Amino acid sequence: MVERELALSRKPLVLLNPDGFYDDLLRFMERMVKERFKSVGLRKLFGVASTVDEVWPLWAQPETFVADKLWDSSDE
């Protein structure tokens, strides 16, 4: 996850959230965005699937994630 956020990797990430196990973590991440601790790009850092069958489409076509300019090293 950190590699993708720092623009070191473009590989897709999918969080498997069976039975809402990680709902509290997802709410925490939303709160970080709401309170401007993290940028809105955090929402596109990874997909969330409830079942294994939902993982594959998210993995095959992930949302485009653009790292914050602070971390973007592609211009170097």
Q: Tell me the domain boundaries of the chain.
A: 2-60
76, pLDDT greater than 80 = no
- Non-local CB neighbours of 31 within 8 Å, separated by 6+ positions: none
Q: How many helical (H) and strand (E) elements, i.e. helices and strands, does the chain have?
A: 3, 2
> The tokens 């489409």 sit on which residue?
57
d(CA 49, CA 58): 8
Q: According to the model, what pLDDT value does residue 2 have?
A: 78
What pTM did the predictor assign?
A: 0.75
